[in-house]
Each structure stands twice: as C-alpha cells, then as structure tokens.
Amino acid sequence: MWSDLESSEPPPERFDERGVAAARTVIVGPITHEVEGPATAEVWLGEPPFSSLCIYDAAFELASGRLALSDAAMDRIDEVPISPGSYRARLCVDDADFPEVASLYLVPSR
C-alpha cells in the first residue's frame, strides 16, 4: 500500500479486475504474500520503463510530502520523503497474475 502518511482517507476496499484499490491519497496493489515467497514494493519518481506492465494509472495527491509504503495490515511502514503535490501515479508489476515486484511511479502533475 502506498499512501500519504498524514492522510485521513481510509484504504479503499473495492478492488478492480487487476487487484488494485485506489483513492485520492491511497493505492493498494497486488503483490506476492510473504508466506508465498519474496516480494518487493518500491516507489520511483519519473515515468516507468517503456516495457513495464502498468496496471493502474490515475491522479495521486501527496499533501504532506511523506509517502508511506506499507503492507496492507500496516505492520511495517517505510516512509519516503517526496515533494508535496499532485502526481500522476502508475502502478507497474512484473507479472499480472503473481506479481513479486510492484513499483509505483510518480510524475509531478503540471
């Protein structure tokens, strides 16, 4: 899950056909569960590589400048400082059915 650390918006509960649930300040994406094997969730500033399999593309608001990267239960939360603002968010995975890598790419909106 990627979210504005200071957002009061609850995680969305309705997932689309690609396993993504999103709101203005929160994105929940699919990834291998730790009991099934290793997995990597990451965040990048900039456009994804051309060959990326992007499963989500929409606006994302980061008012606080503090992006939280966490598991769905929020047992582990890593904070990434990013300039506050509006972004185009693209969530890309390495495999559509069983993603082991989920990468969120953020591009500042103009």
pTM here? Answer: 0.92
Rounded to a whole number of angstroms, the CA Rg of the chain reads 13
In the beta sheet, which residues pair with residue 3? 26, 68
Residue 94, CA distances (Å) to 18, 56, 70 in order: 13, 13, 19
pLDDT digits 0-9 by tens, 25-53: 999 999 987 777 788 999 999 999 999 99
pLDDT digits 0-9 by tens, 57-71: 999 999 999 999 988
In order, the DSSP letters of 22-34 are E-SSEEE-----G
Q: How confident is the model at residue 19 (pLDDT cuts 50, 70, 90)?
A: very high
The CA-CA-CA angle for residues 54, 108, 103, to 5°, reads 30
Domains and CATH numbers, the chain: 2-108 (2.60.34)
The DSSP output letter for 1 is -
